[in-house]
């Protein structure tokens, strides 16, 4: 006689207590915004001459703060090497601290400031895409964009500061204990919820750069998706897919996407 096992019977009781496998699926209730979400294609002023006023008038109601380059130099101590957090395709990231006197309505808090490298692999288009998407999308598993700077050729982004950095750093640090199994499951679940929110939005979003270095962690190991420079509006209505140039990091893109461009 072969005994039939269920997944629940095979999982230790301590794991069940942390993440119940048979918990009813909860429908995500999307908060209605006071404005219709726009896409990157809705903005015709996408060239380097785009001003902060142009963006802010397009994103009325997004609650983004517009910073000057001088203000961001102050809060990062002129982008001091002591405040350096890391660097990606867009450019270097520095830690900063905003006091409650800098901007009306903006509370005192640590932030991460991303500075566009003028000779980097990403540029104005990716910066604008990030502002458009994260300026309008809000979710517990998406990193919060606080504001931006668009001054002359300078393009900067200001985010909430994520204390534990990226999942990549947590997984591959040399001198630290490995992440516990339950913590890894919590991170995976949080990242999946972030993707589900994007895919189920009124205007779906295709993230296109899902990898460990783009999953950031707060003090409680809550996962938040970051870096929307390669994101794209998904199919709407009766459409089932969108055709694009293959974008993303080599080794992380889905094989069928690489083969078909869909």
**Domain residue ranges of the chain, discontinuous segments joined by +:** 40-160, 163-255
- Specify the CATH number for 40-160; select among 3.30.70.1230, 3.40.630.30, 1.10.760.10, 3.30.200.20: 3.30.200.20
Specify the fold of 163-255.
Answer: Transferase(Phosphotransferase); domain 1 (1.10.510)
Among 152, 209, 218, 233, the active-site one is 209
The mean-pLDDT minimum among 22-31, 114-123, 151-160 falls in 22-31
pLDDT of residue 96: 95
Kindly report the average pLDDT of the chain as a whole number: 79
* pLDDT attached to residue 114: 94
What is the Cα–Cα distance from 236 to 206, expressed in whole angstroms? 12
Phi, psi of 76, deg, nearest 5? -105, 5
Lowest-confidence segment of 44-58, 179-193, 217-231, 236-250 by average pLDDT: 44-58
- Contact at 8 Å (CB) between 76 and 96? yes
| Residue 88 to residue 117: CA distance in whole angstroms | 10
Extended strands (E) in 91-249: 92-98, 109-115, 145-151, 154-160, 205-206, 215-217, 223-225, 232-233
pLDDT band of 41, cuts 50, 70, 90? low
Q: Is the pLDDT of residue 261 over 60?
A: yes
Q: What is the pTM of this model?
A: 0.76
The predicted pLDDT at position 116 comes to 86
Candidate from 67-81, 114-128, 171-185 with smallest mean pLDDT: 114-128
Domains 40-160 and 163-255 share a fold: no
What are the φ/ψ torsions at residue 77 (nearest 5 degrees)? 55, 55
Catalytic (active site) residue 53:
no
Lowest mean pLDDT among 38-47, 162-171, 196-205: 38-47
Task: Return the higher-pLDDT residue of 13 and 50.
Answer: 50
List C-alpha distances in Å: 4 to 14, 22, 59, 191: 22, 17, 56, 32
């Amino acid at each position: 006689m072969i005994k039939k096992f269920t997944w629940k019977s095979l999982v230790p009781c301590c794991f069940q207590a942390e993440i119940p496998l048979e918990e009813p699926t909860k429908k995500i209730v999307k908060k209605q915004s006071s404005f219709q979400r726009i896409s990157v294609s809705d903005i015709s002023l996408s060239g380097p001459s785009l001003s902060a006023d142009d963006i802010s008038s397009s994103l009325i109601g997004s609650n983004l703060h517009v910073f000057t380059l001088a203000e961001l130099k102050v809060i990062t101590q002129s982008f001091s090497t002591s405040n350096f957090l890391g660097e990606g395709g867009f450019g270097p990231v520095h830690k900063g601290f905003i006091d409650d006197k800098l901007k009306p309505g903006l509370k005192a808090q640590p932030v991460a400031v991303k500075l566009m490298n003028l000779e980097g692999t990403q540029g104005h288009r990716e910066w604008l895409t990030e502002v458009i998407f994260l300026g309008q999308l809000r979710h517990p598993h998406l990193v919060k964009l606080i504001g931006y700077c668009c001054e002359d050729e300078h393009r900067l982004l200001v985010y909430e500061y994520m204390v534990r950095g990226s999942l990549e750093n947590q997984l591959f640090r040399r001198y630290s204990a490995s992440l516990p199994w339950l913590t890894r499951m919590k991170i995976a679940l949080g990242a999946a919820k972030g993707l589900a929110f994007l895919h189920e939005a009124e205007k779906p979003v295709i993230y296109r750069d899902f990898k460990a270095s783009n999953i950031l962690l707060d003090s409680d190991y809550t996962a938040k998706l970051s870096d929307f420079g390669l994101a794209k509006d998904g199919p709407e209505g009766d459409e089932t897919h969108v055709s694009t140039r293959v974008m993303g990091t080599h080794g992380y893109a889905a094989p069928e996407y690489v083969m078909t461009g869909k």
